[in-house]
């Protein structure tokens, strides 16, 4: 090992340059500078500079807050009711501090807009202007200006270091020259994202068929579960559901990043036999997508197609709903369309005929849950039920793609990594998706909010310790 063992420890070492790592670093520096000393902070990031930012860089970053920045209390209650293992104090913090998090982001040049798309949404979401890339660029630029801060790209943390008493006091990291070095630090933050970028880890935790779930964007390939591995090697507890990923439906034919297909509530979805299997109108486009994507992978051999007609394709915002760079399959008849998506022609024709016959009269309105439904089917559609009758007919073949893993390490409300009995491991912190909190349904538009809310707290916690030792 080529060493930096003689070098004085940095005050804070952060592993990972996504929303979690960057927010801890910035929050720490803002608090620590009040002590009058210049703290030294090092961030190590596996990606090259041009790809810095992990999942955050590619994220839309919808945020479940209203125009005043207040977190939707109904969403918090749904999370708390979703599973007995949900960490209620954690989500109460998000409820209380979410508005301050949004204000802090805005103070640091990250804007949240409340423009609504022209179709129904489950909540009054905000959205980050420019997506997560705007956060990554704003925060990295700020950090690079601050004396004492260094970001080492192309550098991957391998292992946590401890002193003889078990206090974490640094990491070993492999740099672009292939050599490993020790970086000594008074505090180490793991902010390495999830394990969704590792086929090995996804297969181990989610199951043998999980290899058919592709990462939704290239930035996820850097997230290979390293923080989880390093912390559990030291006895950290885990939290969150390990056999579940957050997923979405994409166009199966393309390698375009984030080719999401969200229009399904305004058409129908069929399996490999040409059969419907769900109420496509049971939820708004963004709320239906993740549970449906999971069901397609788990229950339908990862094979399904979204079928719609010319009338649906004229719905305002259609291009926003369906983000593929490849035109959908197009045909003048349903039998021809069936051939293109590889389902038996008779089956698709019969299924759509049954569906069309069951559509009840009523006014179609994509901007609200319109109640326009079918009657008498095994899977009745409860909103937006229009006959699929106007040629040409279209279809997107679908694949299930991952956005993040649920399972991770357990932290306390100060961001300290804890053991199964709740003891904080001295010197070790976690931020973002590497910390597991989700079980069952992730409600959407919460991952960056929870990441930044807790990363700020963690930065403050480490700064308090820094100030005390001054």
The contact set with ligand FAD (CB under 6 A) reads 15-21, 44-47, 53-56, 58-62, 132, 156-157, 191-193, 216-217, 222-223, 226, 258, 403-404, 432-433, 445-449, 451
The answer to whether residues 34 and 5 touch, using CB atoms and an 8 Å cutoff, is: no
* Shortest spacing between CB 395 and ligand FAD, in angstroms: 23
The answer to whether residues 7 and 439 touch, using CB atoms and an 8 Å cutoff, is: no
CA distance 354 to 385: 13
Closer residue to ligand FAD in complex, CB, 123/223: 223
Phi, psi values for residue 135, rounded to 5°? -65, -45
Which tokens go with 172?
């070993």
* Shortest spacing between CB 61 and ligand FAD, in angstroms: 5
* Shortest spacing between CB 362 and ligand FAD, in angstroms: 32
* Shortest spacing between CB 64 and ligand FAD, in angstroms: 8
Please list the alpha-helical segments (H only) found in 7-72: 19-32, 54-58
CA distance 141 to 135: 10
Q: What is the DSSP string of 82-123?
A: H-TT--HHHHHHHHHHHHHHHHHHHHTT--EE-PPPSS--SS
* Shortest spacing between CB 344 and ligand FAD, in angstroms: 34
Closer residue to ligand FAD in complex, CB, 154/370: 154
Closer residue to ligand FAD in complex, CB, 248/383: 248
Please list the alpha-helical segments (H only) found in 268-379: 285-299, 310-313, 318-321, 334-341, 345-358
Which tokens go with 201?
């880890």
* Shortest spacing between CB 135 and ligand FAD, in angstroms: 8
* Shortest spacing between CB 6 and ligand FAD, in angstroms: 23
Closer residue to ligand FAD in complex, CB, 45/351: 45
E strand or H helix that includes residue 13: strand 12-15
Closer residue to ligand FAD in complex, CB, 393/406: 406
Closer residue to ligand FAD in complex, CB, 64/383: 64
Closer residue to ligand FAD in complex, CB, 275/456: 456
Q: Which SS3 state, helix, strand or coil, does residue 240 take?
A: coil
């Amino acid at each position: 090992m080529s060493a930096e063992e003689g070098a004085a420890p940095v005050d804070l070492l952060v592993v990972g340059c996504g929303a979690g790592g960057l927010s801890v670093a910035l929050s720490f520096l803002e608090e620590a500078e009040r002590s009058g000393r210049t703290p030294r902070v090092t961030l190590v990031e596996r990606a090259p500079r041009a790809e810095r930012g992990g999942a955050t860089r590619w994220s839309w970053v919808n945020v479940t807050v209203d125009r005043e920045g207040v977190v939707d209390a109904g969403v918090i209650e749904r999370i708390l009711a979703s599973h007995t293992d949900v960490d209620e104090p954690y989500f109460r913090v998000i409820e209380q501090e979410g508005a301050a998090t949004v204000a802090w982001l805005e103070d640091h040049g990250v804007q949240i807009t409340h423009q609504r798309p022209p179709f129904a949404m489950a909540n009054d979401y905000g959205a980050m202007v420019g997506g997560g890339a705007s956060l990554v660029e704003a925060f990295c630029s700020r950090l690079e200006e601050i004396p004492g801060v260094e970001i080492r790209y192309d550098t991957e943390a391998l292992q946590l270091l401890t002193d003889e008493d078990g206090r974490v006091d640094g990491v070993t990291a492999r740099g672009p020259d292939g050599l490993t070095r020790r970086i000594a630090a008074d505090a180490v933050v793991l902010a390495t994202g999830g394990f969704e970028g590792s086929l090995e880890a996804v297969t181990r935790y989610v199951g043998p068929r999980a290899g058919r779930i592709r990462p939704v964007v290239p930035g996820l390939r850097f997230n290979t579960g390293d923080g989880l591995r390093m912390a559990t090697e030291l006895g950290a507890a885990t939290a969150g559901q390990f056999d579940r990923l957050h997923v979405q439906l994409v166009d199966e034919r393309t390698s375009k990043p984030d080719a999401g297909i969200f229009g399904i509530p305004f058409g129908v979805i069929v399996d490999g036999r040409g059969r419907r299997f769900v109420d496509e109108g049971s939820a708004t486009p963004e709320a239906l997508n993740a549970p449906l994507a999971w069901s397609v992978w788990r229950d339908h051999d990862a094979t399904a197609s979204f079928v719609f007609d010319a009338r649906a394709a004229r719905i305002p915002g259609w291009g926003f709903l369906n983000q593929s760079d490849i035109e959908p399959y197009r045909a003048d008849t349903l039998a021809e369309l069936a051939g293109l998506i590889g389902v038996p022609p008779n089956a698709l024709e019969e299924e759509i005929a049954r569906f069309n016959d069951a559509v009840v009269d009523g006014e179609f309105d994509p901007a609200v849950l319109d109640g326009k439904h079918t009657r008498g089917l095994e899977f009745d559609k409860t909103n937006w039920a229009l006959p699929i009758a106007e040629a040409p007919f279209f279809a997107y073949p679908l694949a299930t793609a991952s956005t993040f893993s649920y399972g991770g390490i357990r932290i306390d409300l100060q961001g300290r990594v804890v053991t199964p009995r709740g003891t904080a491991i001295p010197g070790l912190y976690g931020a973002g998706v590497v910390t597991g909190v989700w079980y069952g349904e992730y409600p959407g538009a919460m991952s960056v909010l929870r990441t930044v809310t807790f990363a700020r707290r963690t930065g403050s916690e480490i700064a308090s310790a820094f100030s005390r030792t001054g």
